[in-house]
Homo-oligomer: A and B are copies of this chain.
């Protein structure tokens, strides 16, 4: 790849969809195969997922959760136990009908999500209040038979985690739903530098079988929403369907309350589409597999020696680095470092050495910062922190600049027709209005806004509004 090839990335302002695919491919994140609708996650893309897993897994364990591994198959009769759930998922599952050359007595689907498997297990292992809460999580691959797919955003196979918990009381289960929702929000803010709008989904948009679904809605560079994770409160109707009961302290049978919550590799899509630019990927330092790339210029022995020393000093501070001294032009190596989105590039040539300095280049702003060689570790540490903060602030500012308010249907229509972004409106709460807006304007409800007062009639029917709500286009 050379500087010219990098420029072959489509401009994100010209064709955002093409830009996205270009970045995914040129940064070596994914590849296609003959398995339609699935993707290969290449080492660089998978390293981002490994970092995500490692941080989240610790957050889950710190909040008392244990990992478990359920079967990947669900017999049809088991999927059918909870009515709303099966209606939501049956149309998009992959069915196994044969094992070797034999037809199965009962077909099984590959799990699209694992509520029913967890419920069946919980029915066996929950007997007493002493067995509660059960706080389980699973890292696995799920399958949903999507017709149109896109790397990370929508794929037939999705790498994700799914937490499934059971609690003695409604109150505890609701607390858990919000606790894990907050874990997601903190993670996305502090590691992925993603500002997310958080809130409850409407009844229409909630998870099949849930009583309440909380969603994290990220806004991409082009103003389109990406649902970045959800946390569900189930009440106890799954538990009832699966006959899960426990003896309380008074030795009476009760039915426990349930939650589930999940995030997936889709978050990698969010990182790309929130932070990336026309030169490629831009990774937040806190999640980047390689935080610093060191590029020596020329073959001078002293230059290589100092490059190696800087590399070692940074590694000693637990900063992940790469030293790129391949026999390629500096222009080629700079361009590749930009496509890959390493947060900081350190350039080091003979003339720099004569001046006792090196150049740090920020990937997010492309700003060049000249520092004394003896300060390089300290300045790099500072700069990584600054880049992380600035990336979040920049994303927040851009997002806020694309949040609109519509007071009546004409305004809503005008905004929805001409702009992407989130549109804040008053809403009566009726699904008829939600449906009409979706059908007429191609925008869907994102989430309810619970910290703002209603200040007008429903944007659609003009009747009394009960809540404020965001609408917007989505992936």
Residues of A within 8 A of B (CB): 31, 33-35, 38-43, 46-47, 49-50, 66-75, 77-78, 90-101, 108, 110, 117, 120-121, 124-125, 136, 140-141, 143, 145, 156-157, 159
8 shortest interchain CB distances as A-B pairs: A99-B145, A38-B71, A43-B66, A35-B71, A41-B69, A95-B98, A97-B97, A91-B100
Contacts of A156 in B (CB 8 A): 73, 99
24 of the cross-chain contacts (CB-CB < 8 Å) are A31-B121, A33-B121, A34-B75, A34-B78, A35-B71, A35-B73, A35-B74, A40-B68, A40-B117, A43-B66, A43-B68, A46-B67, A50-B67, A72-B141, A73-B94, A73-B156, A73-B157, A92-B100, A94-B99, A95-B96, A95-B99, A96-B110, A99-B145, A141-B141
Q: Given the complex of chains A and B, what is the CA–CA distance between A95 and B100 in angstroms?
A: 7
Contacts of A74 in B (CB 8 A): 35
Closest to A74 in B: B35
Q: Are B95 and A91 in contact (CB under 8 A)?
A: no
Q: Are A72 and B34 in contact (CB under 8 A)?
A: no
Q: Are B96 and A69 in contact (CB under 8 A)?
A: no
Q: Are A72 and B33 in contact (CB under 8 A)?
A: no
Whether A72 contacts B121 in the complex (CB less than 8 A), given A96-B95, A110-B110, A141-B141, comes out as no
Q: Given the complex of chains A and B, what is the CA–CA distance between A50 and B67 in angstroms?
A: 9
Contacts of A78 in B (CB 8 A): 34-35
Interface of A is mostly: mixed
Q: Given the complex of chains A and B, what is the CA–CA distance between A192 and B74 in angstroms?
A: 33
Q: Are A31 and B125 in contact (CB under 8 A)?
A: yes
Contacts of A95 in B (CB 8 A): 96-99
Report the minimum CB–CB distance from A30 to chain B (whole Å). Answer: 10
Q: Are A69 and B159 in contact (CB under 8 A)?
A: yes
Contacts of A141 in B (CB 8 A): 72, 140-141
Report the minimum CB–CB distance from A310 to chain B (whole Å). Answer: 22
Report the minimum CB–CB distance from A34 to chain B (whole Å). Answer: 5
Q: Given the complex of chains A and B, what is the CA–CA distance between A69 and B124 in angstroms?
A: 34
Q: Are A70 and B120 in contact (CB under 8 A)?
A: no
Report the minimum CB–CB distance from A5 to chain B (whole Å). Answer: 15
Contacts of A99 in B (CB 8 A): 92-95, 145, 156
Report the minimum CB–CB distance from A135 to chain B (whole Å). Answer: 10
Q: Given the complex of chains A and B, what is the CA–CA distance between A141 and B141 in angstroms?
A: 9
Identify which of B34, B93, B100 contacts A93 (C-beta below 8 A).
Answer: B100
Q: Are A70 and B40 in contact (CB under 8 A)?
A: yes
Report the minimum CB–CB distance from A24 to chain B (whole Å). Answer: 14
Q: Given the complex of chains A and B, what is the CA–CA distance between A347 and B166 in angstroms?
A: 33
Q: Given the complex of chains A and B, what is the CA–CA distance between A34 and B106 in angstroms?
A: 11
Q: Given the complex of chains A and B, what is the CA–CA distance between A49 and B66 in angstroms?
A: 13
Closest to A145 in B: B99
Report the minimum CB–CB distance from A265 to chain B (whole Å). Answer: 9
Contacts of A117 in B (CB 8 A): 33, 35, 40
Q: Are B71 and A42 in contact (CB under 8 A)?
A: no
* Extra pairs beyond A39-B71, A90-B100, A97-B97 (13, CB < 8 Å): A31-B125, A33-B120, A35-B117, A40-B69, A41-B69, A42-B68, A47-B67, A49-B69, A94-B96, A95-B99, A99-B156, A100-B145, A141-B141
Identify which of B33, B49, B50, B121 contacts A40 (C-beta below 8 A).
Answer: B121
Q: Given the complex of chains A and B, what is the CA–CA distance between A6 and B66 in angstroms?
A: 24
